[in-house]
Structure 1
Protein backbone atom coordinates (compact mmCIF):
# COMPACT_ATOMS: atom_id res chain seq x y z
CA UNK A 1 0.00 0.00 0.00
CA UNK A 2 1.30 3.43 -0.91
CA UNK A 3 1.52 6.57 1.21
CA UNK A 4 2.27 9.80 -0.67
CA UNK A 5 3.49 12.77 1.35
CA UNK A 6 3.62 16.35 0.13
CA UNK A 7 5.95 18.57 2.15
CA UNK A 8 8.30 21.52 2.15
CA UNK A 9 11.66 21.05 3.86
CA UNK A 10 11.27 24.46 5.51
CA UNK A 11 7.88 23.58 7.00
CA UNK A 12 8.31 22.77 10.72
CA UNK A 13 5.11 20.74 10.87
CA UNK A 14 6.25 18.58 7.95
CA UNK A 15 9.26 17.30 9.90
CA UNK A 16 7.03 16.70 12.93
CA UNK A 17 4.54 14.92 10.67
CA UNK A 18 7.32 12.73 9.32
CA UNK A 19 8.29 11.65 12.82
CA UNK A 20 4.66 11.00 13.77
CA UNK A 21 4.17 8.83 10.69
CA UNK A 22 7.32 6.91 11.57
CA UNK A 23 5.95 6.39 15.07
CA UNK A 24 2.71 5.06 13.58
CA UNK A 25 4.54 2.73 11.20
CA UNK A 26 6.70 1.42 14.06
CA UNK A 27 3.48 0.14 15.66
CA UNK A 28 2.05 -1.21 12.42
CA UNK A 29 2.62 -4.95 12.06
CA UNK A 30 2.39 -4.97 8.26
CA UNK A 31 4.73 -2.02 7.68
CA UNK A 32 6.79 -4.14 5.26
CA UNK A 33 3.87 -3.78 2.85
CA UNK A 34 3.91 0.02 3.00
CA UNK A 35 5.60 2.15 0.33
CA UNK A 36 6.27 5.81 1.14
CA UNK A 37 6.79 8.40 -1.58
CA UNK A 38 7.79 11.99 -0.82
CA UNK A 39 6.48 14.76 -3.05
CA UNK A 40 7.36 18.43 -3.40
CA UNK A 41 5.21 21.35 -2.31
CA UNK A 42 6.68 24.83 -2.23
CA UNK A 43 4.85 26.86 0.37
CA UNK A 44 5.96 30.14 -1.18
CA UNK A 45 7.78 30.02 -4.53
CA UNK A 46 7.90 33.84 -4.54
CA UNK A 47 10.44 34.02 -1.72
CA UNK A 48 13.78 35.25 -3.11
CA UNK A 49 16.68 32.81 -2.96
CA UNK A 50 18.18 34.96 -0.20
CA UNK A 51 15.36 37.17 1.12
CA UNK A 52 15.36 40.07 3.54
CA UNK A 53 15.83 38.81 7.12
CA UNK A 54 17.63 35.75 5.69
CA UNK A 55 19.45 35.22 8.99
CA UNK A 56 16.58 35.99 11.34
CA UNK A 57 13.53 33.78 10.95
CA UNK A 58 11.79 35.57 13.82
CA UNK A 59 11.94 38.92 12.02
CA UNK A 60 11.08 37.29 8.69
CA UNK A 61 7.88 35.74 10.06
CA UNK A 62 6.98 38.85 12.04
CA UNK A 63 7.18 40.93 8.87
CA UNK A 64 5.22 38.40 6.82
CA UNK A 65 2.44 37.95 9.37
CA UNK A 66 2.28 41.52 10.60
CA UNK A 67 3.01 40.58 14.20
CA UNK A 68 5.58 41.79 16.71
CA UNK A 69 9.03 40.29 16.99
CA UNK A 70 8.16 39.05 20.48
CA UNK A 71 5.01 37.35 19.21
CA UNK A 72 7.04 35.65 16.49
CA UNK A 73 9.54 34.32 19.03
CA UNK A 74 6.74 32.98 21.26
CA UNK A 75 4.99 31.38 18.31
CA UNK A 76 8.18 29.59 17.33
CA UNK A 77 8.79 28.40 20.89
CA UNK A 78 5.42 26.65 20.80
CA UNK A 79 6.58 24.82 17.67
CA UNK A 80 9.89 23.96 19.37
CA UNK A 81 7.91 22.27 22.14
CA UNK A 82 5.84 20.32 19.61
CA UNK A 83 9.03 19.21 17.88
CA UNK A 84 10.55 18.11 21.17
CA UNK A 85 7.49 15.95 21.85
CA UNK A 86 8.16 14.25 18.51
CA UNK A 87 11.83 13.69 19.40
CA UNK A 88 13.20 16.55 17.31
CA UNK A 89 15.46 19.46 18.19
CA UNK A 90 14.66 22.76 16.48
CA UNK A 91 16.97 25.79 16.53
CA UNK A 92 15.01 28.61 14.94
CA UNK A 93 17.67 31.06 16.09
CA UNK A 94 19.98 29.44 13.52
CA UNK A 95 17.45 28.70 10.75
CA UNK A 96 18.32 30.60 7.54
CA UNK A 97 15.30 31.66 5.50
CA UNK A 98 15.60 30.98 1.77
CA UNK A 99 13.63 29.79 -1.24
CA UNK A 100 13.18 26.01 -1.03
CA UNK A 101 13.27 25.25 -4.78
CA UNK A 102 16.88 24.07 -4.82
CA UNK A 103 16.21 21.69 -1.93
CA UNK A 104 13.18 20.28 -3.75
CA UNK A 105 15.21 19.79 -6.93
CA UNK A 106 17.74 17.81 -4.90
CA UNK A 107 14.96 15.65 -3.45
CA UNK A 108 13.62 14.95 -6.94
CA UNK A 109 17.07 13.80 -8.05
CA UNK A 110 17.40 11.66 -4.92
CA UNK A 111 14.07 9.99 -5.72
CA UNK A 112 15.49 8.76 -9.04
CA UNK A 113 18.14 6.93 -7.00
CA UNK A 114 15.71 5.52 -4.43
CA UNK A 115 16.95 8.04 -1.84
CA UNK A 116 13.91 10.28 -1.47
CA UNK A 117 13.30 9.48 2.19
CA UNK A 118 16.97 9.96 3.07
CA UNK A 119 17.01 13.30 1.28
CA UNK A 120 13.97 14.54 3.19
CA UNK A 121 15.46 13.55 6.53
CA UNK A 122 18.88 15.06 5.80
CA UNK A 123 17.46 18.34 4.56
CA UNK A 124 14.98 18.67 7.43
CA UNK A 125 17.77 18.12 9.96
CA UNK A 126 20.11 20.47 8.13
CA UNK A 127 17.57 23.28 8.19
CA UNK A 128 15.86 22.96 11.57
CA UNK A 129 18.67 21.59 13.71
CA UNK A 130 21.97 22.60 12.08
CA UNK A 131 20.94 25.92 10.56
CA UNK A 132 22.41 25.10 7.13
CA UNK A 133 21.94 27.51 4.23
CA UNK A 134 19.87 25.56 1.70
CA UNK A 135 20.42 28.22 -0.96
CA UNK A 136 24.15 27.43 -1.05
CA UNK A 137 25.15 24.98 -3.79
CA UNK A 138 28.18 23.83 -1.80
CA UNK A 139 25.99 23.02 1.20
CA UNK A 140 23.53 21.11 -0.97
CA UNK A 141 26.42 19.19 -2.52
CA UNK A 142 27.63 18.23 0.95
CA UNK A 143 24.16 17.14 2.00
CA UNK A 144 23.71 15.20 -1.23
CA UNK A 145 27.01 13.42 -0.65
CA UNK A 146 25.84 12.52 2.86
CA UNK A 147 22.97 10.45 1.44
CA UNK A 148 24.91 8.86 -1.43
CA UNK A 149 24.60 11.32 -4.32
CA UNK A 150 27.65 12.29 -6.32
CA UNK A 151 28.76 15.85 -7.02
CA UNK A 152 27.56 15.27 -10.58
CA UNK A 153 24.14 14.17 -9.36
CA UNK A 154 23.74 17.35 -7.31
CA UNK A 155 24.92 19.56 -10.17
CA UNK A 156 22.40 17.94 -12.50
CA UNK A 157 19.64 18.39 -9.92
CA UNK A 158 20.37 22.11 -9.72
CA UNK A 159 20.79 22.73 -13.47
CA UNK A 160 18.57 20.29 -15.36
CA UNK A 161 15.12 21.84 -15.78
CA UNK A 162 13.47 18.42 -15.63
CA UNK A 163 13.84 18.46 -11.84
CA UNK A 164 12.15 21.83 -11.53
CA UNK A 165 9.33 20.51 -13.71
CA UNK A 166 8.95 17.56 -11.32
CA UNK A 167 8.68 19.96 -8.38
CA UNK A 168 6.03 21.98 -10.16
CA UNK A 169 4.11 18.87 -11.22
CA UNK A 170 4.00 17.61 -7.62
CA UNK A 171 2.64 20.94 -6.43
CA UNK A 172 -0.02 21.01 -9.14
CA UNK A 173 -1.08 17.49 -8.23
CA UNK A 174 -1.44 18.44 -4.56
CA UNK A 175 -3.72 21.33 -5.45
CA UNK A 176 -5.84 19.06 -7.66
CA UNK A 177 -6.27 16.75 -4.68
CA UNK A 178 -7.47 19.64 -2.56
CA UNK A 179 -4.37 20.28 -0.46
CA UNK A 180 -4.41 23.68 1.20
CA UNK A 181 -1.01 23.29 2.81
CA UNK A 182 1.49 20.75 4.09
CA UNK A 183 2.14 18.19 5.37
CA UNK A 184 -0.45 16.42 3.26
CA UNK A 185 -0.62 12.62 3.35
CA UNK A 186 -2.57 10.51 0.87
CA UNK A 187 -2.99 6.84 1.77
CA UNK A 188 -3.87 4.36 -0.97
CA UNK A 189 -5.37 7.21 -3.03
CA UNK A 190 -8.41 7.03 -0.70
CA UNK A 191 -7.60 8.70 2.60
CA UNK A 192 -6.01 12.10 3.10
CA UNK A 193 -4.47 13.47 6.28
CA UNK A 194 -3.91 17.22 6.29
CA UNK A 195 -1.47 18.40 8.93
CA UNK A 196 0.83 16.83 11.49
CA UNK A 197 -1.51 14.50 13.31
CA UNK A 198 -0.25 12.50 16.28
CA UNK A 199 1.24 9.07 15.70
CA UNK A 200 -1.77 7.48 17.42
CA UNK A 201 -4.23 9.28 15.14
CA UNK A 202 -2.21 8.44 12.05
CA UNK A 203 -2.06 4.79 13.06
CA UNK A 204 -5.87 4.59 13.20
CA UNK A 205 -6.22 5.94 9.66
CA UNK A 206 -3.41 3.70 8.47
CA UNK A 207 -5.09 0.60 9.91
CA UNK A 208 -8.43 1.48 8.33
CA UNK A 209 -6.89 2.14 4.93
CA UNK A 210 -4.76 -0.99 5.07
CA UNK A 211 -7.71 -3.24 5.94
CA UNK A 212 -9.51 -1.98 2.83
CA UNK A 213 -6.38 -2.25 0.69
CA UNK A 214 -5.79 -5.83 1.85
CA UNK A 215 -9.38 -6.77 1.09
CA UNK A 216 -9.20 -5.23 -2.39
CA UNK A 217 -5.92 -7.00 -3.14
CA UNK A 218 -6.66 -10.37 -1.53
CA UNK A 219 -6.92 -12.05 -4.92
CA UNK A 220 -3.53 -10.92 -6.13
CA UNK A 221 -1.13 -13.70 -7.08
CA UNK A 222 1.63 -14.10 -4.50
CA UNK A 223 4.93 -14.89 -6.20
CA UNK A 224 7.89 -16.58 -4.58
CA UNK A 225 10.90 -15.64 -6.69
CA UNK A 226 13.36 -18.27 -7.89
CA UNK A 227 15.79 -18.60 -10.80
CA UNK A 228 14.16 -17.10 -13.89
CA UNK A 229 14.83 -15.80 -17.37
CA UNK A 230 13.02 -12.87 -18.90
CA UNK A 231 12.39 -11.74 -22.48
CA UNK A 232 15.66 -10.68 -24.05
CA UNK A 233 17.48 -13.64 -22.47
CA UNK A 234 18.12 -11.80 -19.22
CA UNK A 235 18.51 -14.48 -16.59
CA UNK A 236 18.72 -14.05 -12.85
CA UNK A 237 20.25 -16.42 -10.38
Structure 2
Protein backbone atom coordinates (compact mmCIF):
# COMPACT_ATOMS: atom_id res chain seq x y z
CA UNK A 1 0.00 0.00 0.00
CA UNK A 2 0.99 3.66 -0.17
CA UNK A 3 2.24 3.77 3.43
CA UNK A 4 4.55 0.78 2.85
CA UNK A 5 5.89 2.44 -0.31
CA UNK A 6 6.50 5.68 1.58
CA UNK A 7 8.33 3.98 4.44
CA UNK A 8 10.64 2.08 2.08
CA UNK A 9 11.26 5.02 -0.24
CA UNK A 10 14.94 5.89 -0.64
CA UNK A 11 14.27 9.29 0.95
CA UNK A 12 12.89 7.71 4.13
CA UNK A 13 14.39 4.20 4.36
CA UNK A 14 12.12 3.19 7.26
CA UNK A 15 12.19 -0.44 6.24
CA UNK A 16 11.86 -1.76 9.81
CA UNK A 17 8.58 0.14 10.25
CA UNK A 18 7.31 -1.24 6.94
CA UNK A 19 8.13 -4.79 8.07
CA UNK A 20 6.24 -4.26 11.35
CA UNK A 21 3.17 -3.05 9.41
CA UNK A 22 3.33 -6.05 7.08
CA UNK A 23 3.71 -8.47 10.00
CA UNK A 24 0.67 -6.91 11.69
CA UNK A 25 -1.35 -7.05 8.46
CA UNK A 26 -0.71 -10.81 8.23
CA UNK A 27 -2.42 -11.20 4.84
CA UNK A 28 -1.26 -13.60 2.13
CA UNK A 29 0.19 -10.72 0.08
CA UNK A 30 1.90 -9.19 3.12
CA UNK A 31 3.45 -12.52 4.07
CA UNK A 32 4.62 -13.10 0.50
CA UNK A 33 6.28 -9.69 0.53
CA UNK A 34 7.94 -10.45 3.86
CA UNK A 35 9.19 -13.86 2.78
CA UNK A 36 10.63 -12.36 -0.41
CA UNK A 37 12.26 -9.53 1.56
CA UNK A 38 13.86 -11.89 4.07
CA UNK A 39 15.08 -14.12 1.26
CA UNK A 40 16.62 -11.25 -0.73
CA UNK A 41 18.19 -9.82 2.45
CA UNK A 42 19.86 -13.14 3.20
CA UNK A 43 17.84 -13.58 6.43
CA UNK A 44 17.32 -17.25 5.68
CA UNK A 45 16.12 -18.15 9.17
CA UNK A 46 13.32 -15.57 9.01
CA UNK A 47 12.51 -16.56 5.41
CA UNK A 48 12.28 -20.24 6.41
CA UNK A 49 10.04 -19.45 9.37
CA UNK A 50 7.77 -17.25 7.26
CA UNK A 51 7.42 -19.91 4.54
CA UNK A 52 6.61 -22.53 7.19
CA UNK A 53 3.91 -20.27 8.65
CA UNK A 54 2.38 -19.91 5.17
CA UNK A 55 1.72 -23.64 4.75
CA UNK A 56 -1.88 -22.86 5.70
CA UNK A 57 -2.16 -21.08 2.33
CA UNK A 58 -0.86 -24.07 0.36
CA UNK A 59 -4.16 -24.60 -1.45
CA UNK A 60 -3.98 -21.04 -2.81
CA UNK A 61 -0.25 -20.46 -3.37
CA UNK A 62 1.24 -23.95 -3.32
CA UNK A 63 3.45 -23.42 -6.38
CA UNK A 64 4.72 -20.09 -5.02
CA UNK A 65 5.61 -21.76 -1.72
CA UNK A 66 7.46 -24.57 -3.44
CA UNK A 67 9.39 -22.20 -5.71
CA UNK A 68 10.51 -20.05 -2.80
CA UNK A 69 11.44 -23.12 -0.77
CA UNK A 70 13.63 -24.24 -3.67
CA UNK A 71 15.31 -20.84 -3.81
CA UNK A 72 15.74 -20.76 -0.03
CA UNK A 73 17.49 -24.14 -0.01
CA UNK A 74 19.61 -23.04 -2.96
CA UNK A 75 20.81 -19.82 -1.37
CA UNK A 76 21.29 -21.38 2.06
CA UNK A 77 23.79 -23.74 0.43
CA UNK A 78 25.58 -20.72 -1.06
CA UNK A 79 24.53 -21.76 -4.57
CA UNK A 80 23.09 -19.82 -7.52
CA UNK A 81 20.36 -20.42 -10.08
CA UNK A 82 22.93 -22.26 -12.19
CA UNK A 83 23.00 -24.96 -9.50
CA UNK A 84 19.34 -25.91 -9.85
CA UNK A 85 18.94 -29.63 -10.54
CA UNK A 86 16.88 -31.13 -13.35
CA UNK A 87 13.85 -31.86 -11.15
CA UNK A 88 13.79 -28.29 -9.86
CA UNK A 89 14.09 -26.89 -13.37
CA UNK A 90 11.25 -29.16 -14.53
CA UNK A 91 9.04 -27.83 -11.74
CA UNK A 92 9.92 -24.22 -12.57
CA UNK A 93 9.20 -24.84 -16.26
CA UNK A 94 5.81 -26.41 -15.51
CA UNK A 95 4.94 -23.50 -13.23
CA UNK A 96 6.00 -20.94 -15.85
CA UNK A 97 3.86 -22.54 -18.56
CA UNK A 98 0.67 -22.98 -16.51
CA UNK A 99 -2.45 -21.33 -17.88
CA UNK A 100 -4.40 -19.95 -16.13
CA UNK A 101 -1.34 -18.53 -14.44
CA UNK A 102 -0.52 -19.23 -10.78
CA UNK A 103 0.98 -16.92 -8.13
CA UNK A 104 4.69 -16.50 -8.79
CA UNK A 105 4.47 -17.47 -12.46
CA UNK A 106 6.43 -14.39 -13.57
CA UNK A 107 9.31 -15.33 -11.28
CA UNK A 108 9.41 -18.80 -12.80
CA UNK A 109 9.33 -17.31 -16.30
CA UNK A 110 12.15 -14.91 -15.43
CA UNK A 111 14.31 -17.79 -14.22
CA UNK A 112 13.82 -19.64 -17.53
CA UNK A 113 14.61 -16.50 -19.48
CA UNK A 114 17.74 -15.85 -17.42
CA UNK A 115 19.08 -19.41 -17.57
CA UNK A 116 18.02 -20.55 -21.04
CA UNK A 117 16.76 -17.44 -22.85
CA UNK A 118 13.44 -19.32 -22.93
CA UNK A 119 10.40 -17.08 -23.41
CA UNK A 120 6.94 -18.31 -22.42
CA UNK A 121 4.09 -17.22 -24.74
CA UNK A 122 1.35 -15.03 -23.33
CA UNK A 123 -1.38 -16.95 -21.55
CA UNK A 124 -4.67 -16.47 -23.46
CA UNK A 125 -6.24 -15.38 -20.17
CA UNK A 126 -3.92 -12.36 -20.20
CA UNK A 127 -4.32 -11.75 -23.92
CA UNK A 128 -8.09 -11.51 -23.55
CA UNK A 129 -8.00 -9.46 -20.37
CA UNK A 130 -9.26 -5.92 -20.72
CA UNK A 131 -6.68 -3.48 -19.43
CA UNK A 132 -8.28 -0.17 -20.37
CA UNK A 133 -7.76 2.72 -17.98
CA UNK A 134 -10.26 5.50 -17.43
CA UNK A 135 -8.08 7.73 -15.27
CA UNK A 136 -4.32 7.22 -15.50
CA UNK A 137 -3.68 9.72 -12.71
CA UNK A 138 -5.24 7.48 -10.06
CA UNK A 139 -3.10 4.61 -8.83
CA UNK A 140 -6.20 2.71 -7.69
CA UNK A 141 -7.49 2.65 -11.28
CA UNK A 142 -4.20 1.13 -12.43
CA UNK A 143 -4.16 -1.66 -9.88
CA UNK A 144 -6.07 -4.17 -12.02
CA UNK A 145 -4.03 -3.59 -15.14
CA UNK A 146 -0.35 -3.44 -14.15
CA UNK A 147 2.09 -5.76 -12.45
CA UNK A 148 5.70 -5.38 -11.31
CA UNK A 149 7.38 -8.67 -10.49
CA UNK A 150 10.46 -9.60 -8.48
CA UNK A 151 13.76 -9.43 -10.32
CA UNK A 152 15.65 -12.66 -10.98
CA UNK A 153 18.22 -13.68 -10.06
CA UNK A 154 18.26 -11.93 -6.69
CA UNK A 155 20.81 -11.03 -5.47
CA UNK A 156 22.45 -10.65 -8.90
CA UNK A 157 25.91 -10.18 -10.33
CA UNK A 158 25.76 -7.52 -13.04
CA UNK A 159 22.63 -8.59 -14.89
CA UNK A 160 19.06 -9.32 -13.80
CA UNK A 161 15.58 -9.60 -15.32
CA UNK A 162 12.58 -7.52 -14.24
CA UNK A 163 9.10 -8.79 -15.25
CA UNK A 164 6.20 -6.38 -15.59
CA UNK A 165 2.76 -6.10 -17.16
CA UNK A 166 1.69 -2.81 -18.79
CA UNK A 167 -1.93 -1.83 -19.57
CA UNK A 168 -3.11 -0.82 -23.03
CA UNK A 169 -2.58 2.74 -24.29
CA UNK A 170 0.04 3.63 -21.68
CA UNK A 171 3.55 5.02 -21.77
CA UNK A 172 5.60 2.90 -19.36
CA UNK A 173 9.18 2.75 -18.14
CA UNK A 174 11.26 0.81 -15.65
CA UNK A 175 13.48 3.24 -13.73
CA UNK A 176 16.49 2.19 -11.64
CA UNK A 177 17.58 4.31 -8.66
CA UNK A 178 20.48 4.01 -6.27
CA UNK A 179 20.03 4.06 -2.50
CA UNK A 180 20.18 7.88 -2.52
CA UNK A 181 17.28 8.11 -4.97
CA UNK A 182 19.41 9.10 -7.98
CA UNK A 183 18.21 7.68 -11.31
CA UNK A 184 20.96 5.60 -12.91
CA UNK A 185 19.10 3.80 -15.69
CA UNK A 186 15.79 3.77 -17.54
CA UNK A 187 14.19 1.14 -19.79
CA UNK A 188 11.09 1.41 -21.98
CA UNK A 189 8.32 -1.13 -21.37
CA UNK A 190 5.80 -2.09 -24.03
CA UNK A 191 2.09 -2.85 -23.68
CA UNK A 192 1.49 -6.32 -22.29
CA UNK A 193 4.01 -8.63 -20.69
CA UNK A 194 7.66 -7.56 -20.45
CA UNK A 195 10.88 -9.13 -19.21
CA UNK A 196 13.32 -6.22 -18.96
CA UNK A 197 17.01 -7.13 -19.08
CA UNK A 198 18.91 -4.83 -16.71
CA UNK A 199 22.70 -4.50 -16.81
CA UNK A 200 24.35 -2.83 -13.81
CA UNK A 201 27.85 -4.16 -14.31
CA UNK A 202 29.44 -0.66 -14.23
CA UNK A 203 27.97 0.03 -10.77
CA UNK A 204 29.15 -0.83 -7.26
CA UNK A 205 27.65 -3.59 -5.16
CA UNK A 206 24.77 -2.52 -2.93
CA UNK A 207 21.04 -1.93 -2.70
CA UNK A 208 19.18 -0.48 -5.69
CA UNK A 209 15.51 0.19 -6.38
CA UNK A 210 13.47 -0.35 -9.53
CA UNK A 211 10.11 1.23 -10.23
CA UNK A 212 7.33 0.96 -12.79
CA UNK A 213 6.33 4.37 -14.14
CA UNK A 214 3.05 4.54 -16.10
CA UNK A 215 2.08 7.81 -17.79
CA UNK A 216 4.47 9.66 -15.50
CA UNK A 217 3.04 8.12 -12.31
CA UNK A 218 5.10 5.77 -10.15
CA UNK A 219 2.72 2.88 -9.55
CA UNK A 220 5.06 0.42 -7.83
CA UNK A 221 8.68 -0.13 -6.94
CA UNK A 222 10.88 -2.78 -5.34
CA UNK A 223 14.37 -3.36 -3.97
CA UNK A 224 17.16 -5.44 -5.50
CA UNK A 225 20.70 -6.28 -4.42
CA UNK A 226 23.72 -6.00 -6.74
CA UNK A 227 26.79 -8.10 -5.86
CA UNK A 228 29.40 -7.17 -8.47
Normalized per residue, the structure richer in strand is 2
Normalized per residue, the structure richer in helix is 1
TM-score w.r.t. the length of structure 1 is 0.26
- Which of the two has higher C-alpha Rg? 1
